[in-house]
Amino acid sequence: MARIAIIGAGAIGGVIAALLQQAGRHELILCVRRPLAGLTVETPDGEVHVEAAIATDPASVSAVDWVIVATKAYDAAGAAKWFDRLRAAGNPGTTGAPVAVLQNGVEHRERFAPYVPLDSILPVVVNCPAERQMPELVRQRGPMHLTAPDNDLGRSFAALFAGTPADATVVPDFTSVAWRKLCHNAAGVLSSLLLQPAGVMRNEAVGETALQIVRECAAVGRAEGAHLDSDVAEAVLRTYRAAPVDGVNSLHADRAAGRPMEIDARNGVIVRLGKKHGIPTPCNQMAVALLEAMAG
């Protein structure tokens, strides 16, 4: 049994809580900004009513075995407010609970390095179609895939999900997995700009633009050490076109709701690292400029 704190109860945090509850051996704490009367997750196998303690004050929590961060990528400082008490070392010589970062982008460790020792940070790539439809209701459209580096922390994290419907695995080449996911996420900026769901990718002109966005991402990823197939852009576009036409990604949902957006984690990082390597990224640069102007 593990005592697990989940910071953020949005779409991904909600699905993670439902899965860990299904494991039947964990004690869960949901760390949120506003009180929740409860949390229901509509999974492909039926509804799960999450049984967890709800905490809204970082001063009210105590030490846990694992901290899972499922907040937006731009809110590292907000998530870190929970760490002091949640990560309090329980045994002499320990450095406190490890922090699994389940966020978009490729800079999981960099975001949390100011708050947690690097050897206690576990980056995790998440692939799961899910939407937070109301504060207390999450809809999970498909299976949950979790990928972590193949090290002690990664294997320990994957073991938390044993006996659940989640596919939790570890890989030796985490960099490539993270950039492959970013290639997919980068194209989603078009739905946010157009305020249209995934079906818009079936438009030929939009699809061609998506290909250019992903090719830029892949070029930067390769410069960062990722191994990506030569047809990764075409594969991403096929995935979008095979998805439900009404699918809404998180960047689109945030813009439609007037919330802050993960612009930097999803497309801005491509522009920043492109400049570092001398790789032009004009499509991503335009998308970032437009979204930032709209957000402003």
Active site residues: 181
Alpha-carbon torsion 51, 56, 60, 63, what sign? positive
